Amino acid sequence: MTTKKEVKKKDLPEIKEEKSSETKKEVLIDSYSFNSKKIPINITIKQVPGEFVPIYEVSISKISKTTEVILEKIRKELIKEVNLGMVDITDAKRNDVIEERFKETINFLVDKYFPDTDQATMEFLTSYLIMKSLGMGSMEILMDDVLLEEVVVNSANEPVWIFHKKHNWLKTNITLADEDQVRHYATMIGRKVGRQITNIEPLLDAHLNEGDRVNATLMPISSSGNTITLRKFSRNPMTITHFLRFNTLSASAASLIWQAMHYELSAIIAGGTASGKTSALNVFASFFPPNQRIISIEDTREIRLPKFLHWVPMSTRQANAEGKGEVSMEDLLVNALRQRPDRILVGEVRRQREAETLFEAIHTGHSCYATFHANNYEETIRRLTNPPINVPETMLPAISMILMQFRNRRTGYRRTFQIAEITDDSKGNLLMQYDPKKDVLQKKHESKSLMGTLELYTGSTKLELKKELLEKEKVLNYLVKQSIDTVDNVGRIMAEYYTNKAELLKYVNKGKSFNFEAK
C-alpha cells in the first residue's frame, strides 16, 4: 500500500518532463533580409524558451565566427594605423575626409589578411569595418531596418530592445560591452547635432539630420545604467492610400475629412502617445489645393508634403548650453502669421500661449491644423478649456472638427477612433465612432454645425454636398485599387482633382491607370 507522499513522488517527474519537452522548442515567428550600407543582413524573429518576449536576431550571412575574429583584429590595427590626432570623428564636416583615410588603410589591411579579395567583397568588408570603427556598430544595422520604430538601450547589462511595426517590443541579440560604450555612443550622437551630454548635463533630447529623434540619459539619473532611445523617422511616409488599405479609417470618413479641409475648415488631431497623430496630420495634409501657401511648424521634421505644393517647413530649436538661441513653437507660429499663409500645420500644441496664438490665427482667417494629446473628443475639449491650456470656450467653435487617433497596444493597430464637430455653443457632437469588435468606424449622429457651415460658405445645397462627398469617396477608392500610395503621386491626384476634375473622373469612372508622366 502506497502513501500519499509516495504517489506524489512517483507522478511529479513525469509531469515535469512533459512540460519541459513542450517549452524546449523555439518557434520561428518571422524572417526577412535587407542591406545596411552594402552589408546583407538576415533577421529572424523567434519565441525562445524562457523568454517572455520574442527575440529579434541579427546575423550577417557573409561573416563566419572566424572571419569576425580576424575583422576585429583588423579593426584594432586600423585604429593604430590611422592617426586621427585631435580630429573629432563625429565632426560632420570632416566625416568624408576621415572615412577616406580609413578606406585607404582598410584596403591595405584587408589585402594583407584576405589576399585575392574581389571588389564586391572589399566594399562589403570596408563598409563593415567603417561601421564598427566610426559608427555605432551593430546599432547602425538596426537603424537601417525600415520595420523598426524605436531602438532602445536600457543599460549595458541587458540586450538592445526594439519596437517592431509588426511585432511590437522585442529583445535583440545585440549587447553593448559596458556603460562606457553606451555613454560613448550618446556623446557621439550629441556632437553630431551640436549638443553635449555630460555629468553636469546628463539629459539629451535632440533631432538628427535625417529626422530621427534621440533621447539619452546618464547614470545616476537613470539608476540602472546609461540609456539611449532612438525614434526613427519614416523614410516612406504614410499616405491616405495606406490608411484606407490598412483600415485605419473608411473611405466615407476620409471623404468627410477631405470635404472639410477642401473648404478650409480647421481641425485638431488628437490621441495618445504613438497613436498616429502626426502621421494622420501628414496624410490629411495631402487634401490641400495646390495653389495655397502652407507653413508647417514642428519640433521634429516629420511632415512631408507633395513636392509641387507651395510649402514652407519650419522647425523649432532648443537653447544651447548657455541657455540661449531657443526658437519655440510659439515664436514660429507668430512668425508664420507674417508670411501670408493659407494653411498652418502645427506639430503639437502643448502650452497656453501656443494654443492662444493658434486660435487667434484661426479667428483672423487662417486655416490651422494641429496635434494634441487627449484620449477622446470630450477630453480634448476639457483639456483645451481648462488649466493649463485655458482656451476661452467662446473661441472653441473656431475648430470645426476633432479627429481622434487610437492605438490598440495589444494588437498594435492604429485607427481613427472618433470624428467629432464643435457646435456653436462650444459643445462636442460625435459624428463617427470606432467599434473595436467589428473593426469599423460607424456613424453615430447627424451633423449639427459642420454641414451647415459648409452650406453657408460654399453656397451648395445638402444634396450637392452629398454628391461631392460621394465623388471624393470614388477618388479615394481609386487610389487604393490603383495602388497609388507615394506622397507625390497621391498629391498629384489631389492636384488633378482641384485643377482638372472632369479629366480625372474619366480615369476614376473607367478604372484606368493614371498617366503620371503627362503634364
Pair 314, 188 in one domain? no
Q: Which of 201-210, 268-277, 427-436 has the highest mean pLDDT?
A: 427-436
With 80 as the cut, is the pLDDT of residue 215 above it?
yes
Q: What is the pTM of this model?
A: 0.75
Higher pLDDT pick, 173 / 17: 173
Pair 272, 128 in one domain? no
Last residue of a domain, one of 102, 135, 168: 135
Pair 412, 326 in one domain? yes
Instruction: Report the number of distinct structural domains present in the chain.
Output: 3
In a domain, 25, yes or no: no
Pair 214, 276 in one domain? no
Contacts of 375 (CB under 8 A, 6+ apart): 271, 272, 404
Model confidence band, residue 139 (pLDDT cutoffs 50, 70, 90): confident
Question: Distance of alpha carbon 405 from its chain centroid, rounded?
Answer: 14
Pair 266, 317 in one domain? yes
Pair 283, 223 in one domain? no
Q: 412 is in which domain, residue-wise? A: 240-461
Task: Quick: pLDDT tens for 442-486.
Answer: 999 999 999 999 999 899 999 999 999 999 999 999 999 999 999
d(C-alpha 389, C-alpha 382), whole Å: 10
Residue 73 to residues 1, 108, 174, 500: CA-CA distances in angstroms? Answer: 69, 14, 20, 64
With 90 as the cut, is the pLDDT of residue 54 above it?
yes
Pair 227, 256 in one domain? no
Residue 47 has a pLDDT of 95
Model confidence band, residue 99 (pLDDT cutoffs 50, 70, 90): low
Beta-ladder partners of 343: 294, 367
Residue 298 has a pLDDT of 86
Q: Which long-range contacts (CB under 8 A, 24 or more apart) does 377-380 make?
A: 377/270, 377/402, 377/404, 377/418, 377/420, 377/428, 377/430, 378/428, 380/268, 380/270, 380/404, 380/428
Place of cell 451647415: 452
CATH of the domain at 188: 3.30.450.370
Residue 209 has a pLDDT of 66
With 60 as the cut, is the pLDDT of residue 131 above it?
yes
Model confidence band, residue 232 (pLDDT cutoffs 50, 70, 90): confident
CATH of the domain at 341: 3.40.50.300
In a domain, 313, yes or no: yes
- For residues 403-431, give the mean pLDDT: 92
In a domain, 493, yes or no: no
Pair 88, 204 in one domain? no
With 80 as the cut, is the pLDDT of residue 337 above it?
yes
In a domain, 489, yes or no: no
- For residues 426-436, give the mean pLDDT: 95
With 50 as the cut, is the pLDDT of residue 355 above it?
yes
Residue 205 has a pLDDT of 83
d(C-alpha 330, C-alpha 349), whole Å: 9
Rounded CA Rg of the chain: 28
With 80 as the cut, is the pLDDT of residue 405 above it?
yes
In a domain, 388, yes or no: yes
In a domain, 154, yes or no: yes
d(C-alpha 61, C-alpha 12), whole Å: 44
- For residues 124-139, give the mean pLDDT: 73
Task: Quick: pLDDT tens for 170-185.
Answer: 999 999 989 999 998 8
With 60 as the cut, is the pLDDT of residue 10 above it?
no
In a domain, 20, yes or no: no
Residue 133 has a pLDDT of 66
With 60 as the cut, is the pLDDT of residue 254 above it?
yes
Contacts of 181 (CB under 8 A, 6+ apart): 156
Pair 348, 440 in one domain? yes
Average pLDDT, the chain: 86
d(C-alpha 367, C-alpha 343), whole Å: 5
- For residues 370-386, give the mean pLDDT: 96
Contacts of 243 (CB under 8 A, 6+ apart): 249, 254, 280, 283, 416
Side-chain-side CA neighbours of 422 within 13 Å: the count stands at 23
Pair 256, 201 in one domain? no
Backbone angles phi, psi at 102, to 5 degrees: -65, -45
Model confidence band, residue 226 (pLDDT cutoffs 50, 70, 90): very high
* Residue whose C-alpha is closest to residue 205's, from 190, 187, 191, 219: 190
Pair 170, 122 in one domain? no
Last residue of a domain, one of 217, 233, 249: 233
Q: Which of 25-34, 202-211, 227-236 has the least mean pLDDT?
A: 202-211
CA angle 504–509–512, rounded 5-degree value: 75
Residue 81 has a pLDDT of 64
With 70 as the cut, is the pLDDT of residue 13 above it?
no
d(C-alpha 48, C-alpha 334), whole Å: 54
d(C-alpha 193, C-alpha 321), whole Å: 13
- For residues 30-41, give the mean pLDDT: 87
Last residue of a domain, one of 200, 233, 266: 233
Pair 247, 226 in one domain? no
Residue 94 has a pLDDT of 53
In a domain, 223, yes or no: yes
